[in-house]
Amino acid sequence: MKKHNLAVILHEPDIPQNTGNIIRLCANTGAELHLVKPLGWGGMNDSKLRRAGLDYHEYTNLVIHENWARCFEYFRGRTIWAVETGSSVFHTEVSYTSNDVLLFGSETRGLPDSILTQLGMQNVIRLPMQISQRSLNLSNSVAIAIYEAWRQIRFIGGV
């Protein structure tokens, strides 16, 4: 079966339940999951993380990076799309490849300006929402974005 190399990065996630949900999401979409430390909970055996992820941990290719610099180096040569509210480009307005990476910031802080500058605003996209609202839940945001990228590459590896 053909496989894609889509990946999701969570930069310094704060809420273990969100990450647990995203573990399950990545298992079901075939996307790798990368976490950038520090994590906002005690570790990968956290009960809230394990409960939200159910038994999908074993089906997810999960990599933990000590810091952003190491994570960025890991993905050198691949397109990283940062998902942030400050962009004017919607996630549906870009063309994804099977090798692309979606980057999300922490639930409480988003992504640092230094990372957005490093990637360039041409690689920052946003999810549409009502003008009066601040943000979407992180696990919902990842689901919306990964399914659009996967749809564009014709659901490689899916049934």
Owner of token pair 């490849």: 97
- Could you tell me the residue ranges of all domains in the chain? 7-153
Please report the pLDDT score of residue 9 as a whole number: 98
Residue 106 is encoded by which pair of tokens?
């922490």
Please report the pLDDT score of residue 1 as a whole number: 63
Please report the pLDDT score of residue 59 as a whole number: 80
pLDDT, averaged in runs of 10, over the chain (159 residues): 90 94 95 96 79 75 96 98 94 98 96 97 96 91 98 94
Which residues define the annotated binding site for S-adenosyl-L-methionine?
83, 105, 127, 135
- Considering the entire predicted model, what is its pTM? 0.95
Please report the pLDDT score of residue 32 as a whole number: 97
DSSP class of 11: E
Q: Which residues lie closer than 8 Å to 110 by C-beta, 6 or more apart?
A: 84, 85
Q: CATH homologous superfamily for 7-153?
A: SPOUT methyltransferase, trefoil knot domain (3.40.1280.10)
Which residues define the annotated binding site?
83, 105, 127, 135
